[in-house]
Amino acid sequence: MSLSRKRILSFSENAPKRQVRRYENIARLYSTRSGQSHIVIPRKPTGVVIGRSSLCDIKIVGSDVSSKHCQLTLTINNSQEHLYITDLSSNGLYINDELCGKGTNTLLKSGDKVGFAKTGGQFIFRYSFDEEEGTVKTHKRTFFDDYILGNQLGSGHYAVVKEARDRTTGDIVAVKVFHPNKSSNGDTNDAKLQQEMNLLLSINHPNIVKFISHYIEPLNQNTVSTYLVLEKMNNGELFQRIVNKLKLRQDETKAIFKQLLSGVHYLHENNIIHRDIKPENILLDVTPRTSLNEKQTGPWDDHEYDVKVKIADFGLAKFIGELKFTNTLCGTPAYVAPEILLNDRNYSTKVDLWLAGVLLYVCLCGFPPFSDELAPPNMKDQILQGKYAFYSPYWDDISDSALDLISNLLVVDARDRFDIVRTCHHFWFGEADQQVRAVSDTEEQDMEEDVPSQSSSQVKRQVLRSNTQPMTLKERFTSELNFGYDRSSIL
């Protein structure tokens, strides 16, 4: 008889007066020491206690093992069984060489190393359904089955973002780990959510950060953590590019916007409204130039061969809840469309065009069109009234056609605002980059001919009040750094 069989017997023998009940196995602990027996864990609904006492369900030996060292508890989450291990010991329970701490609950994953104090031995934990072929029950793969988590890339309001490596392909991805949420109870909303997730998973466009997969991992009996696996972008955010350069050239902005609007168009065709387009959510992948003779794909910096622009964070409300998402948007209103501020539930895809207008303004002059420095009125009222201007000297060298486009995007009444198709076809995009790069007298003449007279009346060039000074993104970023960096409060 094998030693592991003996362990099962010791489990059954602990209930001599009751009917001996045999439970199916749920997992095994494989000893890392040769000669030491493995432990078989039964699927006992009331939990399994492991310790030195013969009253335990599973008895283990070791001078510093506590009489009740730990308890394993079975939970079912999203139709999936998991075991939690609770540390009851005085001398320590170790998971993956880390001390758990008395009273703590830890979710066990296949491959975890479990140590019982110093003398109780070390074991590798595996769920039975991970290793038994032909069983009816299939173990839904967990995030940790598929990926190895790496360094943190950053953090936002709702999540931390980490790098991870695909265990099978070796591909590097970005993983958004959302702050823990209450676990669901499998109601009909789950089916709807799953449907919406499937739509997000099907989104495939060169200017949208690819959504690869998602996992809902239980943290304990009541909470879950969602892992969103995303294509990893390698060169940071548009935000940082604007901060580094103070503002972007017109030709560069145009090349970035052509890509960005192509992504927005695709989202709108799929009935997805982003609602949070801002420089932090536009990520970049830069391919360096191999030599200065290599022809660039666009008006990029000298060392850059190509800059790919991708929109991140679409469909976020699905993961964090509609109310929380809208509240967060309205908490940092520089980029919020008026209809969202007014809590109009009938908002449309036009919301994203307002945001594109704000972003275009920021790219070209380096500061946002609505801010408290420009008060009165306060920022919220500036947005609700559509009160902004193209201040001299910041906008002096920017072509009228760019101003015309912004004027057609920052329109409070969404019905009168440009939609994505009109925006993509705006004549600013047709202007030759060469002309825009260095504004010349000839160019100004050419553009005057281009600009329809009706649009030029909307262009509001204005001289700033003498006591007003708009703060650039860079100045906001630097001053926030001095007071402890919370980027979410910058814009």
Closest approach of ligand ATP to the CB of residue 265, in Å: 21
Among 49, 70, 174, 409, interactor with ligand ATP by CB under 6 A:
174
Tell me: does residue 155 bind ligand ATP (CB under 6 A): yes
Buried b (16+ CB within 10 A) or exposed e, 344-358: eeebbbbbbbbbbbb
Residues in the chain: 491
C-alpha separations of 108 from 86, 178, 233 in Å? 10, 20, 32
Q: Which of 340, 332, 475, 453 is nearest to 401 (CA)?
A: 453
Tell me: does residue 325 bind ligand ATP (CB under 6 A): no
Q: Which residue is nearest to ligand ATP (CB)?
A: 156
Measure the CA–CA gap between 66 and 88, rounded to whole angstroms.
8
Measure the CA–CA gap between 441 and 262, rounded to whole angstroms.
32
Site mask, ligand ATP, residues 214-253, x = CB under 6 A?
----------------xxxx--xx----------------
Tell me: does residue 286 bind ligand ATP (CB under 6 A): no
Among 209, 362, 436, 490, interactor with ligand ATP by CB under 6 A:
209
DSSP bridge partners of 9: none
| Tokens (6 digits) for 428 | 């600013």
> Nearer to ligand ATP by C-beta: 479 or 488?
488
Measure the CA–CA gap between 338 and 385, rounded to whole angstroms.
8
Closest approach of ligand ATP to the CB of residue 166, in Å: 14
Buried b (16+ CB within 10 A) or exposed e, 443-480: beeebeeebeeebeeebeeeeeeeeeebbbbbbbbeee
Among 62, 150, 156, 180, interactor with ligand ATP by CB under 6 A:
156
Cβ–Cβ under 8 Å, residues 329 and 354: no
Closest approach of ligand ATP to the CB of residue 234, in Å: 7
Alpha helices in 366-469 (DSSP H): 379-385, 400-409, 420-424, 433-437, 441-450, 453-456
> Nearer to ligand ATP by C-beta: 279 or 338?
279
Taking the alpha carbons of 486, 488, 489, 491 in that order, is the dihedral positive or negative? positive
Measure the CA–CA gap between 264 and 311, rounded to whole angstroms.
8
Tell me: does residue 410 bind ligand ATP (CB under 6 A): no
Measure the CA–CA gap between 42 and 128, rounded to whole angstroms.
10
Closest approach of ligand ATP to the CB of residue 323, in Å: 16
| Tokens (6 digits) for 205 | 């466009």
Tell me: does residue 281 bind ligand ATP (CB under 6 A): yes
> Nearer to ligand ATP by C-beta: 122 or 240?
240
Tell me: does residue 330 bind ligand ATP (CB under 6 A): no
Residue 377: cis peptide before it, omega within 30 degrees of 0: yes
Among 217, 252, 280, 431, interactor with ligand ATP by CB under 6 A:
280
Measure the CA–CA gap between 34 and 55, rounded to whole angstroms.
27
Catalytic residue among 57, 276, 400, 404: 276
Tell me: does residue 320 bind ligand ATP (CB under 6 A): no
Tell me: does residue 313 bind ligand ATP (CB under 6 A): yes
Tell me: does residue 150 bind ligand ATP (CB under 6 A): no
Q: Residue 484: what residue type?
A: G
Stretch that binds ligand ATP, among 82-90, 157-165, 341-349, 476-484 (CB under 6 A): 157-165
> Nearer to ligand ATP by C-beta: 212 or 464?
212
> Nearer to ligand ATP by C-beta: 156 or 180?
156
Stretch that binds ligand ATP, among 153-161, 185-193, 199-207, 356-364 (CB under 6 A): 153-161
Stretch that binds ligand ATP, among 1-9, 33-41, 82-90, 152-160 (CB under 6 A): 152-160
Q: Are strands 48-51 and 58-59 parallel, antiparallel or unpaired?
A: parallel
Alpha helices in 174-246 (DSSP H): 188-202, 238-245
Total residues binding ligand ATP (CB under 6 A): 23
Closest approach of ligand ATP to the CB of residue 33, in Å: 42
- H or E element, residue 288: strand 282-288
Residues 462-491 that bind ligand ATP (CB under 6 A): 488
Residue 416 designated active-site: no
The response to whether 176 counts as a known ligand-binding position is yes
> Nearer to ligand ATP by C-beta: 72 or 491?
491
Catalytic residues: 276
Annotated binding site for ATP: 176
- Which residues here bind ligand ATP, judged by CB under 6 A? 153-159, 161, 174, 176, 209, 230-233, 236-237, 280-281, 283, 312-313, 488
